[in-house]
Amino acid sequence: MTASSGPRLEAVDPRGEHHGPVVVIEARHGWREVGLTELWSCRELMFFFVWRDLKVRYRQTVFGALWAVMQPVLLMLIFTVTVGRLPGVGPAGTPYALFAYTGLVPWTLFASSLAGASNSLVSSESIITKVYFPRLLLPFAAVGSFLIDFAISMALLVLLMLYFGVAPSIAVVWIPLLTLFALVTALGIGTWLAAINVRYRDVKYVVPFLTQSLMFLSPVIYASTLIPSGWQWLYALNPMTGVLDGFRWALIGGERPDELILVSVVASVLVFLSALLYFRRTEQTFADVI
């Protein structure tokens, strides 16, 4: 057939009726495309990973899925009786507990997604070295399973709003898009860290520190209006600023934080795209160095 390809083996059972896909394997260097079509064709496997994570997460626990809401609820209580008592921390006219909880719910989604994504490759070492699939599925799937936890916490938020008698405006329709914004942010940073984690386990120590620092650099337990207006643009470079202000605006009301969100969205998308490219560039060595 091909003269260049060395010795031929004898055909044993030649039936040439299949014309399956052709896979070409070769050394590739430098940047490569993200491979969205391949990712899409493997979406079923991604759902299996999400399903596995959900099945495993609360197995052999007493409280089960209650853990999903316990974290933001307990933090809300703690912050309400401590930071919440300081004057000017939250906006006037909104109960601080509600204010804190509307921040803590998307924050918890972000923090757990970030931790899950950055650990996703290292914790799947045994399958990465044994079978091929697009590796990007792993950080994506790690994030997906936290959406269920998020939905449970959001259900509690509805109860909380009923209790405080706060009704959202029509802006509430933005919630799905803002959730996506939070996910893209977590995925952007998480995918970067997942790829770096394969080679440098320093990431294990970076993630908790990063999450904690970002929590204080984001308007989770205080309002972003506390930051002087001259510094707002810098503050908004942290994408979670836009996410959290967006959530508060959509649920509690107030002035729409247009410019702030715009800066945050641009920052988030840039981090996300660069993460995809970096991941794809280093992907070829994952199985060798993990």
Partner 1 sequence: MTDIAITATGLGKKYKIGVRRDPYGRLTEVLWSSMTSVFKRTKGKPRADEFWALRDVSFDVPRGSVVGVIGRNGAGKSTLLKILSRITEPTLGTAELHGRVGSLLEVGTGFHQELTGRENVLLSGAILGMKRVEIARKFDEIVAFADIGRFIDTPVKRYSSGMKVRLGFAVAAFLEPEILLIDEVLAVGDLAFQEKCIGKMNDVAGHGRTLMFVSHNMGAISSLCPTTIWLAEGKVRLIGKTTDVVPEFVRAAGLDLGAGDVIIDSDEHREAQISRVRFLSASGEVTPVGECSDSLTIEMRLDVRRRLRGLYAYLEIRLPTGTTVLMSDSLDTTPNPLDDLSLGQHVVTVTIPARTLAPGKYDVWVSLASISGREFNVHNPGVVGSFRLHDSRSDRGDARPGFFSVLLDWRATDVSASGG
Q: Which is nearer to partner 1, 247 or 286 (CB)?
A: 286
Quickly count: other Cβ atoms within 10 Å of residue 218's Cβ.
Answer: 23
Q: Which is nearer to partner 1, 28 or 85 (CB)?
A: 28
87 belongs to the binding site for partner 1 (CB under 8 A): no
Q: Quick one: which of 185, 193, 142, 207 has its CA closest to 272? A: 185
Residue from 36, 56, 66, 86 touching partner 1 (CB under 8 A): that is 56
5 belongs to the binding site for partner 1 (CB under 8 A): yes
3 belongs to the binding site for partner 1 (CB under 8 A): no
22 belongs to the binding site for partner 1 (CB under 8 A): yes
Contact window for partner 1 (CB under 8 A) among 106-114, 126-134, 163-171, 252-260: 126-134
The contacts found for 231-236 with CB under 8 angstroms, 24 or more apart, are 232/259, 232/260, 233/259, 233/263, 235/260, 236/260, 236/261, 236/263, 236/264, 236/267
| Token duo for residue 240 | 């979670």
Residue from 40, 63, 163, 200 touching partner 1 (CB under 8 A): that is 200
Q: How many chain residues are in contact with partner 1, going by CB under 8 A? A: 54
Residue from 32, 173, 201, 262 touching partner 1 (CB under 8 A): that is 201
129 belongs to the binding site for partner 1 (CB under 8 A): yes
8 belongs to the binding site for partner 1 (CB under 8 A): yes
55 burial (CB, 10 Å; 0-12 / 13-18 / 19+) is exposed
43 belongs to the binding site for partner 1 (CB under 8 A): no
Residue from 31, 36, 37, 48 touching partner 1 (CB under 8 A): that is 48
Distance CA 43, CA 139 (A): 13
Q: Give yes or no for a contact between 101 and 72, defined as CB atoms under 8 angstroms apart.
A: yes
Q: Quick one: which of 234, 257, 238 has its CA closest to 247? A: 257
- Write down the least CB distance from residue 139 to partner 1, Å: 16
Q: Show the site string, 246-285: x = touches partner 1 by CB under 8 A, - = not.
A: --------------------------------------xx
User: Which distant-in-sequence residues (6+ apart) come within 8 Å of 99 by Cβ?
Assistant: 90, 91, 223, 248, 252
12 belongs to the binding site for partner 1 (CB under 8 A): yes
38 belongs to the binding site for partner 1 (CB under 8 A): no
- Write down the least CB distance from residue 118 to partner 1, Å: 15
CA distances from 256 to 16, 228, 244 (A): 64, 18, 12
10 belongs to the binding site for partner 1 (CB under 8 A): yes
Please provide the DSSP assignment of 218-261 as one string: TTSSS-GGGS-GGGHHHHHTSHHHHHHHHHHHHHT--S--HHHH
209 belongs to the binding site for partner 1 (CB under 8 A): no
Residue from 76, 111, 114, 128 touching partner 1 (CB under 8 A): that is 128
Contact window for partner 1 (CB under 8 A) among 111-119, 143-151, 199-207, 240-248: 199-207
Q: Quick one: which of 221, 275, 228 has its CA closest to 34? A: 275
Residues that bind partner 1 (CB under 8 A): 1-2, 4-28, 44-45, 48, 51-52, 55-56, 59-60, 126-133, 199-202, 284-285, 287-290
